[in-house]
Amino acid sequence: MLCAMSDAKTMEGKKKAPKLKFTAYLRACSEYLRRPKTVFDLKDRSKALLLLTAAVIILQTLVRWLCP
């Protein structure tokens, strides 16, 4: 009984954080990703885009070469 009372007291002091909907979370993440913070972010994103493009081209070439 003593443990139950102490748990109830600790639960009263804690406030639950409001739950966000999944769509609100996705919207916030996409807004964060859209705006670059510094010049280095732009450089990093452009490098990542170039690497991804190169990887896709290499994989397409490899598949065409292996599958006549």
d(CA 32, CA 41) in angstroms, rounded, equals 12
Tokens of 14: 């804690």
**Model's pTM, two decimal places?**
0.46
The mean pLDDT value for 22-46 works out to 82
Least confident span in 3-7, 11-15, 35-39, 60-64: 3-7
Tell me, what amino acid is at 13? G
Cα 42 off chain centre by: 18
C-alpha distances in Å from residue 8, one per residue of 26, 34, 50, 58, 66:
35, 44, 56, 61, 67
Distance CA 47, CA 40 (A): 10
The domains of the chain are located at 37-68
